[in-house]
Structure 1
Amino acid sequence: MPGDRLTLQDRQQIAAGLRKELTYAAIGRRIGRPTSTVTREVMRNGGPRGYHAEVAHRAGAGHTRQRKTTPPTPSPGGAHLGGRDPRLVDEVDTQSMELMIQAGLPQMMAKVLAALFTTDSGSLTSAELVRRLHVSPASISKAIGYLENQALIKRERDPHSRAERYSIDDDVAFHSIMASARAQTQIAEACKIGAQKLGANTPAGARLENTSQFLLHVIDDLVRSVQHWHQVYSTHPRKTTATDD
């Protein structure tokens, strides 16, 4: 097997696996490659819905020729990689991004979030994100707005310049789940109101009432669990006061 270079046959099997909706791990086992190799290959060539074996193979051949003729240059985001091998960071970025996309996050939003997750500071400016992801400022702005609305990131002023920084902290999962719980609570309340208007004895009303009760009980259990584990794993534990006794 010639190093990490994929053959046209490999890429055709990847395309076939994507059509069958196989996981990247399953595709990797089929062609004898690591999951990360398959993930990186697909995300660099149109994503799971836009991947074409022949197009990807031509692009891969072009990248190979470029590597042979072009000396390596420092990564533009190297200052934020903590001295790590950029290829390693890229691999973690790609894997994280793919999982986020599978969970329903749009691709550009997943790229930005993955970049913030794999930066030690957890904070980047728009210009830094543009250089790191090789996308337009408009794309970054749209992604930031979406992620901020989902309570996944926050804005803060750079103390050393006038630029805004976009940051992610250790509590991002907590804030995201709580935001989702609030949205689900609104849905439950809307179902309850709908049930009252249609009549709880009607099939539609009963369906809405059952949905409302189900959501409210699940949300209550979820919020209690999230608050408990957030306190256990928080890197900034809440201080105990006299009223906690």
Structure 2
Amino acid sequence: MTARVHVDLLLSEDGRRPAAELSRRLNVSPASVSVAVNALVKHGYVRREREREPEQRRDIYVVDDEAWYHSIVISARQTLESAQTAMAAAETLGPDTPVGQRLTEVGTFLERVVEDLRESADRWRTLLT
């Protein structure tokens, strides 16, 4: 369902659709759309906007030009948290123990990959705008 909502937004002319339209177009319940959109928002692929018309209030879901950049930044932040957790665990278990050494290596690897990923995303961000 998440992929269906994402693709439908990507295929819209302006990258925007209200929740009710997504529900109608995909022939699914509003609750299904809500769950899917929450996952997409969490990972940075979509943002939620409130449209306030005099008679109604509705959510509009938007895929913008920088959605892919934001997704990479969020993923990098989550991976960095994993790296920091591994490093902290290595310290707790002892950096000279086999487990501590393995966790230190994993943490260091993830930190460096995240650094490269962030630098690359920043360098190529202009391609999205």
Instruction: Please state which band the TM-score falls in when normalised by the shorter chain.
Output: over 0.9
Q: Can you list the C-alpha shifts for 1:140-184, whole angstroms capped at 9, x where unaligned?
A: 111111111112111112254521101110111100000000000
What is the letter of the counterpart of residue 139 of structure 1? S
Could you tell me how far apart the structure 2 residues matched to 1:151 and 1:173 are? 7
Give aligned-pair identity as a percent: 39
TM (norm. structure 2) is 0.94
Q: CA RMSD in A?
A: 1.1
Could you tell me how far apart the structure 2 residues matched to 1:175 and 1:169 are? 10
Unpaired runs of 5+ residues, structure 1, are 1-107, 236-245
Aligned counterpart in structure 2 of residue 205 of structure 1, from 90, 100, 113: 100
Aligned partner of 2:40 in structure 1 is 147
Alignment of 1:67-78 (within 5 A): none
Query: Is this contact kept in 1: 2:44–2:68, CA < 8 A?
Result: no
Q: Can you list the C-alpha shifts for 1:82-106, whole angstroms capped at 9, x where unaligned?
A: xxxxxxxxxxxxxxxxxxxxxxxxx
Could you tell me how far apart the structure 1 residues matched to 2:125 and 2:44 are? 16
Aligned partner of 1:195 in structure 2 is 90
Alignment of 1:7-46 (within 5 A): none
Q: Can you list the C-alpha shifts for 1:189-211, whole angstroms capped at 9, x where unaligned?
A: 00000000111111100000000
Q: Secondary structure at the match of 1:226?
A: helix
Aligned partner of 2:128 in structure 1 is 234
Could you tell me how far apart the structure 2 residues matched to 1:204 and 1:142 are? 38
Unpaired runs of 5+ residues, structure 2, are none
Could you tell me how far apart the structure 1 residues matched to 2:94 and 2:51 are? 55
Q: Secondary structure at the match of 1:163?
A: strand
Higher strand share: 2
| Greater RCO (Cα-Cα under 8 Å, separation 6 or more) | 2
Could you tell me how far apart the structure 1 residues matched to 2:99 and 2:50 are? 50
Question: Larger Cα Rg: Structure 1 or Structure 2?
Answer: 1
State whether structure 2 residue 59 is matched by structure 1 residue 164.
yes
Name the count of aligned residue pairs: 127
Could you tell me how far apart the structure 1 residues matched to 2:82 and 2:22 are? 35
Could you tell me how far apart the structure 2 residues matched to 1:234 and 1:124 are? 21
